[in-house]
């Protein structure tokens, strides 16, 4: 039995001996961890290095929890952690910032897995991770199940914290199916995570400021497969295929494959054929979601309806307007090159893309290469517009710079022709021009709606 399981089992069998827990970080996840541990009877100290963390007041209001801001545990010595049975870190806190014995360090995904082990609900648990597309695949998988008559929920990194969902299920009925989105931050401390079906969608460089290197990042993602009863594998991604020698279901974005599910020029083919022209869901995400839910025996007609009715998540390949037979897509969440490349692969026709912002030293060559044959014009803005311009020009793609989002949308509209897509997929952080990627996406939406009104009144 591992340390976490041993502590929690001893604690459950002898609740009068309160466990002492340290919660690091008072954001939404830290709040959920503190709430869960306090409900289980632990004495909790919650700390945060920020002077006014976002959930300070809510954390301090929990009975049994002491909240302490402006406390930087990166300066603590190893002995400072001796009095705590568990050190539960919020996902975004790097492991390198905590000098506690590694066996004491846990997180929300590990605590969720231990609670599930001790009191398993009558629920099928699907788990999703990957560098790109995991929120869309998680939500779409839940909607496929719902359409087929299952009570399904999407939880975890997509929205409701895992432990909040768990506590809610103790008060009301647990769903038939839960689809959990998990980040590498959560998985690095969750070697115990168990699921009925798991999928690692893809792997590309990301969060290397948090993980020490690419190998560490990949290892964290791979933990999702360690205790999965059924493994769904992207056959096109060598980093993913190397994670397991025994995939149960495979999917591929090419029809020249032996994968159980594959993408053709006009359909997704598996246990049935799903025409791309009949679905609102992004093709690659739909492919992964169909493969993930392959073992659930969902009705085919219901799945077709779910794919046709899917509403894309905000700022993630979100269709926001149609002007003169041109589709406008907000993919502001694409804050790195890999995400923007992923979005480009989802497009069925030609595109005008809007990109730029703070590139954080990325090499844009891969994005420019992916854009060849797909992009007729790249409209560039923000701090690293010139670096993007060089990358696109080097592969023969026309570029034009814009001072702001309204101008970028205007230029893109002028360049697009019937059947094209205008897509904001920046490949960069938004912080050089906006407070976050959501604000950037909202600016794009507003500019598109203004352009739609302008075209309608001309």
Binding residues: 130-136
Please name the residues in contact with 445: beta carbons below 8 A apart, sequence gap of 6 or more.
Answer: 320, 321, 330
Pair 97, 48: CB distance under 8 Å: no
Which residues, 6+ apart, have CB-to-CB distance to 158 below 8 Å?
Answer: 134, 135, 138, 139, 181
For 340-407, give the secondary structure using H, E and C.
HHHHHHHCCCCEEEEECCECCCCCCHHHHHHHCCCEEEEEECCCCHHHHHHHHHHCCCCEEECCCHHH
Closest by CA to 69, choosing from 51, 43, 57, is 51
Annotated binding-site residues for ATP read 130-136
Q: Could you tell me the sign of the dihedral formed by the alpha carbons of 369, 374, 376, 377, in that order?
A: negative
* Nearest partner of 143 among 342, 286, 320, judged by Cα: 286
Edge-to-edge strand list for the sheet holding 86-89: 65-68, 43-47, 20-24, 86-89, 105-106
Cβ-proximal residues to 110 (8 Å cutoff; 6+ apart), any chain: 4, 189, 190, 191, 192, 193
């Amino acid at each position: 039995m591992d340390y976490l399981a041993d502590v929690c089992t001893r604690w459950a069998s002898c609740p009068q001996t309160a466990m002492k827990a340290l919660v690091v970080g008072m954001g939404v996840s830290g709040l959920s961890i503190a709430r869960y541990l306090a409900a289980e009877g632990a004495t909790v100290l919650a700390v945060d290095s920020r002077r006014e963390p976002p959930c300070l007041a809510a954390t301090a209001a929990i009975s049994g929890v002491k909240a302490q801001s402006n406390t930087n545990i990166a300066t603590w010595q190893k002995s400072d952690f001796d009095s705590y049975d568990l050190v539960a870190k919020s996902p975004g806190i790097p492991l390198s910032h905590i000098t506690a014995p590694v066996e004491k360090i846990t997180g929300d995904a590990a605590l969720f897995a231990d609670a599930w082990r001790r009191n398993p609900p009558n629920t099928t648990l699907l788990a999703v991770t990957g560098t790109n597309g995991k929120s869309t695949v998680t939500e779409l998988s839940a909607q496929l199940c719902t359409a087929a008559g299952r009570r399904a929920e999407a939880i975890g990194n997509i929205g409701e914290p895992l432990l909040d969902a768990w506590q809610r299920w103790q008060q009301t009925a647990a769903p038939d199916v839960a689809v959990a989105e998990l980040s590498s931050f959560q998985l690095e401390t969750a070697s115990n995570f168990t699921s009925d079906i798991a999928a690692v969608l893809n792997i590309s460089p990301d969060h290397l400021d948090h993980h020490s290197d690419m190998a560490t990042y990949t290892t964290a993602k791979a933990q999702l497969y360690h205790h999965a009863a059924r493994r769904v594998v992207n056959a096109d991604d060598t980093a993913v295929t190397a994670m397991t020698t025994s995939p149960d279901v495979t999917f591929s974005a090419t029809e020249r494959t032996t994968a159980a599910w594959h993408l053709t020029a006009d359909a997704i083919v598996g246990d049935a054929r799903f025409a791309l022209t009949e679905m609102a869901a992004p093709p690659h995400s739909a492919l992964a979601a169909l493969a993930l839910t392959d073992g659930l025996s969902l009705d085919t007609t219901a799945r077709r309806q779910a794919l046709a009715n899917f509403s894309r998540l905000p700022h993630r390949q979100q269709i926001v307007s149609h002007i003169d037979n041109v589709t406008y897509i907000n993919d502001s969440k694409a804050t790195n090159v890999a995400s923007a490349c992923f979005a480009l692969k989802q497009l069925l026709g030609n595109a005008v893309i809007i990109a730029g912002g703070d590139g954080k030293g990325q090499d844009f060559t891969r994005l420019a290469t992916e854009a060849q044959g797909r992009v007729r014009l790249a409209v560039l803005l923000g701090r690293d517009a010139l670096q993007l311009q060089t990358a696109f020009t080097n592969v023969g793609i026309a570029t034009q710079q814009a001072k702001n989002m309204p101008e970028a949308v205007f230029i893109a509209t002028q360049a697009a022709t019937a059947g094209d897509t205008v897509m904001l997929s920046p490949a960069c952080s938004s912080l050089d021009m906006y407070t976050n990627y959501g604000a950037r996406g909202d600016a794009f939406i507003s500019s598109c709606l203004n352009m739609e009104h302008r075209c309608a009144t001309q």
